[in-house]
């Protein structure tokens, strides 16, 4: 009788473990969703500028991305502390020319976004880099 109970419990354990492994194999681990911080557009003379580096600075850390073909960008983070600091204390958005002279030399620009604006939309107009004397 003890052998039969042991066999039933072992079979139940194996089926449970097998089902768990099957579910894990089929569905995998769930991805943590990205927390949006800021999105927006960078333009020069009203036209979107591609390939500019855009960084959001908060809590002593920077999360960066590059503008797309039309100057649009979206910056997010998986770090809940970063997102909380940006939301509670505000954050900076800085744009700098990362592609050299392919679009022309453009000035870097930073703006400070006040607390409570997460996620926020930022529209930045950049100017030509002044010629050195």
Quick one: pLDDT at residue 23? 58
Instruction: Assess whether 5 and 68 both reside in one domain.
Output: no
Please state the rounded mean pLDDT for residues 13-26.
66
Highest mean pLDDT among 25-39, 40-54, 102-116: 40-54
Mean pLDDT of 61-77: 91
Instruction: Check whether residue 6 and residue 58 sit in a common domain.
Output: no
Q: What is the mean pLDDT of the chain?
A: 80
For residue 119, say if its preceding peptide bond is cis, omega within 30 degrees of 0: yes
Residue identified by tokens 């109970």 is 5
Full domain range(s) for residue 8: 1-30
Higher pLDDT, 25 or 91: 91
Is the same domain home to 115 and 82?
yes
Question: Are 25 and 43 members of one domain?
Answer: no
Is the pLDDT reported for residue 133 higher than 60?
no
Phi, psi of 111 (to 5 degrees): -130, 150
Beta strand pairing call for 91-97 and 109-113 = antiparallel
**Three-class HEC string of 99-133:** CCCCCCCECCEEEEECCCCCCEEEEEECCECCCCC
């Amino acid at each position: 009788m003890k052998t039969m109970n042991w066999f039933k419990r072992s079979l139940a354990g194996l089926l449970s473990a097998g089902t768990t492994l099957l579910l894990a194999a089929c569905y995998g681990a769930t991805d943590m969703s990205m927390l949006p911080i800021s999105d927006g557009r960078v333009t020069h003379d009203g036209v979107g500028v591609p390939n500019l580096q855009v960084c959001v600075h908060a809590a002593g850390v920077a999360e960066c991305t590059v503008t797309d073909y039309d100057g649009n960008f979206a910056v997010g983070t998986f770090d809940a502390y970063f997102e909380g600091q940006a939301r509670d204390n505000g954050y900076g958005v800085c744009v700098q020319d990362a592609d050299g002279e392919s679009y022309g030399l453009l000035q870097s620009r930073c703006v400070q976004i006040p607390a409570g604006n997460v996620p926020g939309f930022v529209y930045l107009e950049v100017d030509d880099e002044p010629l050195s004397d």
